[in-house]
Amino acid sequence: MDNVLTVKNLSVVYKINHGFLKRKTNFYAVNNVSFDLQQGEVLGIVGESGCGKSSLARALIGLNQINAGEVMVTNKYNLTNLNERKLIHQQIQFIFQDPIAALNPRMTVLDIITEPLKVNYPQLTKHERYSKALAMMRLVGLSEKYINRYPQEFSGGQCQRIGIARALIMNPKILICDESVSALDVSIKAQIVNLLIELKKHLNLSIIFISHDLGIVRYLSDRVLVMHKGQVIELASCDELFINPQTEYTRKLLSAILKIQPK
């Protein structure tokens, strides 16, 4: 199976103030991380808060500076090459944690979904953008009657569907979900997770799914990557990792899953 994403020795370094004199020191949020993502695969990324999951995700879309290593998309484009970054952004899209804060309250649903098309494909006509927006709304389970409404008129689950439609309008190969269901109610969370599964099959998407909810990660993922202090400490198939974890840290993470014991 072909790799759509190859990450080699990636490092993200933050400058922080240290000590009384506030000297600048380096903090390795992501330290020498390597992995690949296959076509049509869901890769779950787990770890405690502050382990570098979000820093890694933001680096993969260019929001964080990559201090070392390389990111290859479809074995063709290198994220560290500024001339190729726009092409890469058409291949990788991001779904944010807070669905309401991620949407501009002054823009209608139509404007939000079609904004990426205006930026990347300015040659498209208004009618073409409108038609693509309608098709994408139907795909994510939104009624067409909502197209001229504003984000504050929707629930969190509906706003997340709008965010997913905005991400998919570019027809990306890779979708990065950074805690994209953590802010939702349990029932809505299940709907969005099932929607992602349907979209993956329908569009042949590859997904990086970052979450603290290990139950959802196990339900959704093909492989799971475990991070600790900015490093990868374990990477295995989902069944193998949950049944036979190889590191003590992974075993502690899995022990935090709530057990259902009706008796």
> Over the stretch 132-142, which tens digit does the pLDDT of each residue have?
999 999 999 99
pLDDT of residue 21: 67
> Which single residue is written with the structure tokens 């405690």?
48
Tokens linked to 10: 């990636």
* CATH class of domain segment(s) 3-99+174-255: alpha beta
pLDDT digits (tens, 9 = 90+) for 8-59: 999 999 988 776 667 788 889 999 999 999 999 999 999 998 899 999 999 9
Buried b (16+ CB within 10 A) or exposed e, 121-135: eeeeeeeebeebbee
The pTM assigned to this predicted structure is: 0.90
What residue ranges do the domains of the chain occupy? Answer: 3-99+174-255
Q: Which residues of the chain have pLDDT under 70?
A: 1, 19-21, 82, 258-263
